[in-house]
Structures are given as C-alpha cells and as structure tokens.
Amino acid sequence: MGIGIILASHGDFASGIKNTGDMIMGRQDKVAVCLLMPDDNPEQLKDSLEAAIASFEKEDELLFLVDLWGGTPFNQANQLIQQSDRNIEIASGLNVPMLLQAYSERFNPDRGVTEIVASILSEGKEGIRSNTEQPQHVNKVEPSQVTEMVTNKKMAQLGIQHVRLDERLIHGQVATLWLGKLGATRVMIVDDNVVNDSITKASLKTAVPGGIKLSILKTETASKRLKQGIYQNQKVMIIAKEIETIFALIDSGVPIERFNLGNASSKEGTIQIKRSLFLTEAAIAKLNDLEKQGVFVTAQMVPMEEEKSFSQIYGR
C-alpha cells in the first residue's frame, strides 16, 4: 500500500508545480495531474479526477492537493470523496513547500495520509514569508521521521555534519529537505568568490531557514576555523559551489571522510555523471583516488535518494 497524490487546479498550475517538484526532488511515482482549462466544464474535470483515482492501486490511500478551497477542482474532488469508500484526504492552497513535504513524508511507511495532511498544512503556511519579516522558527523534523545520517568520527569531532557540492548553494533541496533531515544548526558556504559578492551574500542570508546560523567563508578561512575546532558541538552543513573547493579543504588537512555530490551544471569539458551533475575528467580522476584512500563519495540530490558510492554511480 502506498499514497497516491492527485494535483488539481484551474489552468496549468498543477502541471507547473509538478514540474517544479520534479526539478527539486526528481520525478516521483504515483502522482497524477488534473487540469480545469478555460473551455472545460465541471463534468470533464470530474471524469479526469475519476480516471486519476482509478490509475492507483485499490489499497492506496489518496491525497488531493488543490489550488483553491471552494473552487471547481476542490468541489469535484470533494464530491468524489463523499462517494468513495477509500481513505482519501483533500488539502487546498497548494504551494511548493506543501508538495515537497508531501513527497518527503511518503518515504516514511509509518505515515498515513491523515498524518501527512496535518504536516503539509503546517509546512505550507511556514513557507509563506517575506524578505522583511521572516519567522524565527527552527527548521524542524520529528524524530520518528529522521533516518540517521552517517557522519564519520573525525568530521563529527569538528562539528561537520555533512559536506555537499552544490553550485546553487541554498535552494529548495537544501532549505526544505537537507537541513531538516540533518538537524543542521549552521550552514557554511565555502567559496572564495561569494565572500566578495554582496548581492549573493544578501540572498543567502534571506534563503537560510530561521534558527539556523550562516557562515560565508573563503576556503583558507574555513579550513583554519574547522581545524581549530571552533564549530565543535554544532552540526554544520558545508556547501561548496565548486568541487575544487572540497578538494582544497581535504588537501589542507580538514578530515572530510565523506561528501555528497549534489548539483553541478554542464560546462565545456564536463561529462554527465547523473541528472544535474556534470564533472571534468580531472575531477573524476581525483574522486576515484579519494575513494581508494577511503573517502566515501556519494551523489544524492535529496536525502531520501538511495546512497551509493561514486564508483557505483559512475564506474568505468
């Protein structure tokens, strides 16, 4: 038994938000989209919703995520719920944080659709913010939801919880999924150029979730502070925009025993490793050498993705 999700909206909204979810978390199974277009009538939408319901297994629980309470997608879905003996819930006001939370919650087999609705409504509200007034809440994850993230001993002694290559730095995957899963208390951006980029720094300060500290450091400074033990007893997620930065930290003596390859876009001279991850031949060779030295290198877009070593992902 699983949980099927049906996105329903006026116009193309549901289709667009599904595409956004796919970009952030990868393509998801058991997700259907039903659209009410300008020339459609309610019966056509009802037929589409019925077909979507029928596409799932009979024992699946179902979750309708609709754009507007009281709108036609809501009304048609609600009518079908009243007529069905399946376990179906409906939530309106669909936004990206709600959808990502719904996807994330489904990975926990102990979470039923009713529990998921309560969680996504809270997440949807917290995702509505402005740049002038941000809520001071701590990015939370209930203990029952946490899959223990492996941190090697030497890293943990210095407060390093996770090291990630991600040229997009703090974005949806990081802010919504990784920081909560890790229970991070600090994000450390390590990049020699970002340090001097006032616009990017201001954007990062806005993007980091409330209750989590932010450091933006040059490679040399980050190495020095980490080795001095300044962040002991913290849970630091290190994010590097360039893979060479991670290599430099390791070469400088920071005991990074494992790190994660997130996002690195296609550039001249790079090879595609997996979706959203492109590396040069030189970087690939260095990664292979690090694996031989005992460093565990993985490539997870999101924390729920299966953890595999780099050589498993890109073996030649």
Lowest-confidence range among 62-76, 197-211, 284-298?
197-211
Q: What percent of the chain has pLDDT over 90?
A: 66
Instruction: Give 152 or 125, the one with higher predicted confidence.
Output: 125
- Cα–Cα nearest to 193, from 204, 208, 206: 204
Mean pLDDT for 229-249 is 96
The H or E element containing residue 101 is helix 96-106
CATH number of 3-126, picked from 3.30.530.20, 3.20.20.150, 3.40.50.720, 3.40.50.510: 3.40.50.510
Residue 156's φ and ψ, nearest 5 degrees, are: -60, -35
**What would the pLDDT profile of 133-180 be if each residue is shown by its tens digit?**
654 544 444 433 433 445 568 899 999 999 999 998 998 888 878 998
**What would the pLDDT profile of 78-111 be if each residue is shown by its tens digit?**
999 988 989 999 999 999 999 999 998 888 888 8
pLDDT at 139: 46
Say whether pLDDT at 115 is over 70: yes
With H, G, I as helix, E, B as strand and everything else as coil, classify residue 238.
Answer: strand
User: Hey, where are the domains in the chain?
Assistant: 3-126, 143-313
pLDDT at 146: 38
Mean pLDDT for 118-131 is 85
pLDDT mean across residues, the chain: 89
Mean pLDDT for 211-232 is 96
Query: What is the C-alpha separation between 210 and 137, in angstroms, rounded?
Result: 5
pLDDT at 133: 61
Half-sphere exposure of 7 (CA within 13 A, CB side): 24
Vertex 169: Cα angle to 18 and 193 (nearest 5): 145
pLDDT at 302: 85
CATH number of 143-313, picked from 3.20.80.10, 2.30.30.100, 3.40.35.10, 3.30.70.100: 3.40.35.10
Q: What is the dihedral of CA 58, 63, 66, 71, to 10 degrees?
A: 70
Query: What is the C-alpha separation between 70 and 76, in angstroms, rounded?
Result: 10
**What would the pLDDT profile of 58-82 be if each residue is shown by its tens digit?**
999 999 999 999 899 999 999 999 8
Lowest-confidence range among 125-139, 156-170, 193-207?
125-139
pLDDT band at 50 (very low <50, low <70, confident <90, very high): very high
pLDDT at 248: 97
pLDDT at 301: 87
Query: What is the C-alpha separation between 133 and 121, in angstroms, rounded?
Result: 20
Mean pLDDT for 126-135 is 70
Centre a 10 Å sphere on the Cβ of residue 243 and count the other Cβ atoms it contains.
20
pLDDT at 26: 83
Spatial neighbors of 118 by CB under 8 A, at least 6 apart, are none
Q: Which residue has the tokens 């299966």?
A: 306
pLDDT at 316: 58
Spatial neighbors of 254 by CB under 8 A, at least 6 apart, are 158, 160, 222, 223, 226, 227
Residue type for position 314: Y
